[in-house]
Amino acid sequence: MKALRWFVGKIILILNSLFSPRGMQRSATAQQEVDAAVANMQLYQFETCPFCVKVRRHAKRLNIPLATRDAKTSPWGQELLEQGGKRKVPCLRIEEDGQVTWMYESNDIMAYLDKRFA
């Protein structure tokens, strides 16, 4: 089963690289504003998770440079568990005005990114 998961994960990554979406175009000033807003966000993910790939592709389509953290490695997996409450990916950590929000579910994350940056 582990070998099958590894194989399917590699296929997902290959297809993702072959059919990578184009990012939306913004003015330099607008892109700098987006970059500044995204600076306090991190996407906790597994590289080959289909739902994580879906969120990363959506962020690329919106031209959002999200920082990613591999939840399989230390210290990110432990941080996700301790601070977010569960080791589930994808998870978007949003820090605004001193408040930290942990958003799970790929569709919720994509809807938030659309509302904020589209």
* Cα distance between residue 117 and residue 3, in whole Å: 38
Note the pLDDT tens digit of each residue in 47-79: 889 999 999 999 999 999 999 999 988 899 899
Coil, helix or strand for 46?
Answer: coil
* Sequence ranges of the domains in the chain: 30-117
Note the pLDDT tens digit of each residue in 15-51: 877 877 887 888 889 899 999 999 999 999 998 899 9
pLDDT at 90: 96
pLDDT at 10: 82
CATH number given to 30-117 = 3.40.30.10
Q: How many other CB atoms sit within 10 Å of the CB of residue 66?
A: 19
pLDDT level of residue 89 (50, 70, 90 thresholds): very high
Q: Which are the contacts of 61, defined by CB distance < 8 A and separation ≥ 6?
A: 21, 22, 23, 24
Cα angle, residue 85 at apex, residues 60 and 49 outer, rounded to 5° = 35
